[in-house]
Amino acid sequence: MKIEIYDTTLREGSQRSGVFFSEYEKAKVAGCLDILGIDYIEAGFFAPSTADSLCRFARKYGGSLKAGLSVLCATCRPGSEAGSDPVLRKLAESDFGTVAIVGKASLFQVSTVLGTSPSTNLDMIRSTVSFLKQAGKRVIFDAEHFFDGWSFDPGYTRSVLETAASAGADRIVLCDTNGGMLPDVISITVESVKKVTGGVPVGIHCHNDIGMADACSVAAVLAGASHVQCTVSGIGERCGNANLSTVVPTLQLKLGFECVPRECMEKLAPVTRDICQTANLGFDECAPFVGGHSFLHKAGLHIDAVRKAPDSFEHIDPSLVGNRRSMIISELAGRSAISELLGRMGYEAGKNSPELDRVAAAIRKAESEGYIFDSSEASLYVLINKTLGTQPRPFEMKDYKLIFSADEPASSRWTAIVRFSVGGREQLRVGEGDGPVNALDIAAHRALSGSFRKISGIKMSDIKARIDANDSAASASTVRVFVETSDGNAVWRTMGASTDIIAASWAALLDAYEYFILHICGPSGTTKRPKEKI
């Protein structure tokens, strides 16, 4: 059975606090969504303040998308006809082939919020849907506050659905606008509603206010809904919406429904990450299916079992959603995990190989100095290269010096002087920054970019410090600094450990540069593994 996927990231997602999409970013998100092979992309809310920009967007980008480009719009005003509404007339003349009309489906909402009579609300819905159908649009009717209305006065809510269906709506979407429904209620209600829509396909639109949006969406489909509205990573107002990145693979891979082409499903993880980055949101590495930790194994027994039979601790093949298996090297992992890692690096390393012993010893030594590799696997790759000489070291850091100038403006108080040896030639550079780490980063970029031209394009996307307090003075405790670095495509994580927070930060930065050169770009600067995520 085919399930239509209607994405509303560009509309619902933009209602999340801190999220705003420029036209360029909207186009980028729409392009990413189109890669997934979904059916509809909702570009925004069509209103007097947004109508012109949305019409331009549809003209400029709509023709290049395989998905149908849609917008959400309100019904005409109480006591008026849709044909006389300037916003609806503009929508009728626009390049949007699909429109979603939101109408009140709750008698309480009609009287208290909309402030009109029940019959007037029905007239508004009838007039708007029929007007847009006559204009040649595919009309999706979003029954706002449907589930609350069905509980409050099911007779009136039923009349709303019947009115939309008789006016020509192509889809009727049941909205859990408050996000408070439970899956069993959703299921029972959808089964009942399918009997009163006159054969018009039923859809579901869930909010996540009690953490049930994904489960409710799946329950609706199992009860007969054939249209699901959702957002990437569930971003949206308040607690968000049903999560496309979870709902779609659950429906398709677990329940056998057809949502997107298989080759598109295999791009789900990188596309989800790209859209979150465009929205300037931190990516949830523990997200089901698509997160970096979704198929990450740490316990030695787990790792050993997965190597023998992946489905012992993995519910699907990670590649089905564009993800991959990874294993944390720690005191819990054991020799199986190290052997697995060396195999990924190109070594034929059995459990009794000398290479494995050398690496295990190096890892134990690093851990005794405060290193942990749970979330800094790029540093582990660098450590293994140092231990085994996998590839020649691309550079050697000789020394660095930091100068703090109290008399300078706050934005340029720190100066870093760094000295590298690259290919036998010494590189001495200076950098000024807002802090010691920023100054070191700038100076290192200048010292290395001459030999590795693409290194100028990488930047820290996150940095965190954790103090491991001991029984002596807290100021002498080990500081672990975790750095996330990106070149706009790949993302990798490194760490440094020291009683000196600057030294720890510098070690993490150096590992980030070295990993980039060895594993993403070669000395020539050509990209080797553009989607690598460590």
Please name every residue paired with 138 in a beta bridge, in sequence order, or none if there are none: 98
Domain housing 29: 4-278
Q: Taking a C-beta distance cutoff of 8 angstroms, is the pair 512, 378 a contact?
A: yes
Structure tokens at 157: 């809510």
Out of 278, 311, 341, a domain closes at 278
In a domain? residue 289 = no
Number of domains in the chain: 2
Residue-wise pLDDT tens digits, 312-355: 778 899 999 998 776 666 544 566 667 777 776 666 666 667 87
In a domain? residue 341 = no
Nearest alpha-carbon partner for 380 in 484, 286, 512: 512
Nearest alpha-carbon partner for 289 in 304, 271, 277: 271
Whether residues 274 and 406 fall in one domain? no
**What is the predicted pLDDT for the residue at 117?**
97
- Distance, in Å, from the CA atom of 12 to the CA atom of 7, rounded to the nearest integer, reads 9
The low-confidence residues of the chain, meaning pLDDT below 50, are 331-332, 471, 524-534
In a domain? residue 43 = yes
Please name every residue paired with 144 in a beta bridge, in sequence order, or none if there are none: 104
CATH (domain of 501): 3.30.160.270
Residue-wise pLDDT tens digits, 240-270: 999 999 999 999 999 999 999 999 999 999 9
Out of 252, 278, 304, a domain closes at 278
In a domain? residue 310 = no
Please name every residue paired with 467 in a beta bridge, in sequence order, or none if there are none: 479
Q: What is the pTM of this model?
A: 0.73
In a domain? residue 38 = yes
Whether residues 271 and 409 fall in one domain? no
Q: Taking a C-beta distance cutoff of 8 angstroms, is the pair 175, 143 a contact?
A: yes
Identify the residue whose tokens are 């950098």: 431
- Distance, in Å, from the CA atom of 315 to the CA atom of 116, rounded to the nearest integer, reads 51
Q: Taking a C-beta distance cutoff of 8 angstroms, is the pair 242, 216 a contact?
A: yes
Measured CA angle at 335 (ends 330, 340), to 5 deg: 90
**Centroid of chain to Cα 435:** 30
Whether residues 12 and 159 fall in one domain? yes
CATH (domain of 115): 3.20.20.70
Out of 217, 247, 278, a domain closes at 278
